[in-house]
Amino acid sequence: MMNDILKKEIDLLPDAPGCYLMHAKDDEIIYIGKAKNLKKRVSQYFLRAHSGKTAAMVSHVDHFETITTKSEKEALILEMNLIQTHHPRYNILLMDDKHYPYIALHKNIENPYVGLSRNVKDKKCEYFGPYPNSSAAFEVIDLINKLFPLRKCRNVPKSPCLYYHIGQCLAPCVNKVSKEQYEDIIDKIREFLKGKNQDLVKDIKEKIKLHSENLEFERAQEYKKMLDSINHITEKQTVEFKDKVNRDFFSFHTRENYIAIALFSYREGILLSKRTFCYELIDEISDFVSEIIYQYYQLNAIPNEIVVSNDEICANLNDFLPNANVIFPSRGKLHDVLDTVEINAKAALDEHFLTAKLDDDIMDLLDKLGNILHIKTPKHIELFDNSHLQGTNAIGAMVVFINGIPYKKMYRKFNIQGYNKKDDLSSMRETLTRRYKRLKEENEKMPDLVIVDGGKTQIEIASEVKKALDLPFAIAGLVKTDKHRTSALMNEDFNEYYLDDEKKLFLLLTRMQDEVHRYAITTHIKKRNKSVFNSIFDGINGIGDKRKEQLIKAFPSISELKNAKIEELEQIIPKDSAEKLFEKIRSLN
């Protein structure tokens, strides 16, 4: 039943594009949408029968507001900004999505080189990908570096390195390499990455034969390994399209108010990656899929063609992504591939139903958590943990969950500055104070709930900080047994809730706790490793902060640094510095 406020608001709706914001009784924004026609779209929520997540959302709507725009495209941009600001509980947001790795050909610089990149916005680079993971991309980069004599080091050293002596670098450090030479190599790399490697394979086979005839069996074996690598990489990939066009295919499958969206990414006619996304529907299918795809391309490069399985989605995306070529094929090979993509979407949805998906129930679980703690539903939760080794390299770690999903952009680490770094309580006090003093000074949004890693003593520390800074959020702690296993949830009044009848909520809290532990430990290890490296690098002229970072990146562990050859060190630091570092490393053995 609609209340009087809703009836009046519906009557006043304009026949215009814009955004609508659904509010609950406590004025919480629970859903944000956009529409070509606000009157038609919003009224449908209250005049039609709904099920599942949509019915749940509508049942919580007390009133709504609208913002009219000049176009649907403008409405979409506004909608995305509003969702990023308010994080409504019923909106889907690709918060934890990540950029796929690309091979970056740094060509518009003095001395070109090849590397891995997840950012495809540098105009000095030409990008190839995406690859399914960084290992696959590094495998190709490693082969390119063996096949083509571009520089291997990020910063050109002052003397030739090992790669020059084995014929894998032109040594721009001592040789003047012409622009024409570089352009020829770049063209060959480009052809190789596009799968055109017949001439290269022929050349390598001739070198294998030549070295074998000259009894240079080690050199012949090196080229044989290169040939095997080319065949290995080529065999793993199936070329589907002879036109070599970069394409992304999207299709979907629905079942019982759920939807799975599948994505196949083809680059140069080669299928490089497959992905699926499963969600509960709360909007019109074409609008929902369009928005997921739009969000995806806020993080990933747009290919030459985006192939979709629905004409409405095609029309939407041509509006939302004006620089993209979005097509809806009704027949032919592209249509046949879409059929395969839909089969994958169906399989993903079947798996979704066969597997107990905690994510489906997250908002219900957060409602229960709010009821247990006698607070409003905690949509924004921040969790804290400390990590140190006998007081050294102490850090405080904070992870953020928005609507029950980790939001890694908001994770923070704190280098503990206090005197007694072995004291976990002092470290927690420092971390919480620094975090929320800054938020308050900058007038930033506070969390709904802060969870500390421990029971009464940790909650007491958090409560002291809350009182001192006059903070609005609730506090809870995760109580552990003597075997360091989580046993209960404790509120600010030190009441314990054992959640025996709430197994899924217990699992959700455990998931959150595991994530803050993981982040704290990995952050601590990185800091500890950096500290160990610094002790090795300190005192050597020619190794400043920038070169330390470059050395750590090239040799990420002590064991790798110990195994480094002096020629490899000279790629990054001056020869005199490399010799001193090499001697110092050997003294550690």
Q: Quick one: DSSP state of residue 49?
A: -
Identify the pLDDT of residue 238.
45
Q: Quick one: DSSP state of residue 363?
A: H
Identify the pLDDT of residue 356.
45
Q: Between the CA of residue 385 and those of 36, 148, 300, 436, 512, what are the distances in Å?
A: 46, 47, 32, 15, 11
In the sheet with 102-106, reading across from the earlier edge strand, the strands are 113-117, 102-106, 125-128
Q: Which CATH number fits domain 363-527: 3.40.50.740, 3.90.180.10, 3.30.420.340, 3.40.47.10?
A: 3.30.420.340
SS3 of residue 389 by DSSP: strand
Contact 349, 253 (CB under 8 A): yes
**Domain 363-527 and domain 538-587 have a common topology:** no
Q: Quick one: DSSP state of residue 557?
A: S
Contact 450, 375 (CB under 8 A): no
Burial readout 144-155 (b: 16 or more C-beta within 10 A, e: otherwise): bbbbbbbbbbee
Identify the pLDDT of residue 388.
57
Indicate the domain borders of the chain: 4-86, 102-236, 248-354, 363-527, 538-587
Q: Which CATH number fits domain 4-86: 3.90.25.10, 3.40.1440.10, 2.10.70.10, 3.40.50.720?
A: 3.40.1440.10
In this structure, are strands 380-389 and 392-402 parallel, antiparallel, or unpaired? Answer: antiparallel
Q: Which residues of the chain have pLDDT under 70?
A: 1-2, 94-100, 120, 132-133, 154-155, 157, 162-167, 195, 232-242, 354-360, 388-393, 418-422, 481-485, 524, 527-535, 556-559, 588-589
Q: Which two tokens stand for residue 143?
A: 């082969």
Annotation: CATH topology of 248-354: Nucleotidyltransferase; domain 5 (3.30.420)
How many other CB atoms are found less than 10 A from the CB of residue 326?
23
pTM: 0.56
Cα dihedral across residues 451, 456, 458, 464: positive or negative: positive
Residue range 538-587 in CATH 1.10.150.20: yes
- Closest of 95, 86, 84, 77 to residue 409, by C-alpha: 95
pLDDT tens by residue, 251-279: 999 987 789 999 998 887 778 778 888 88
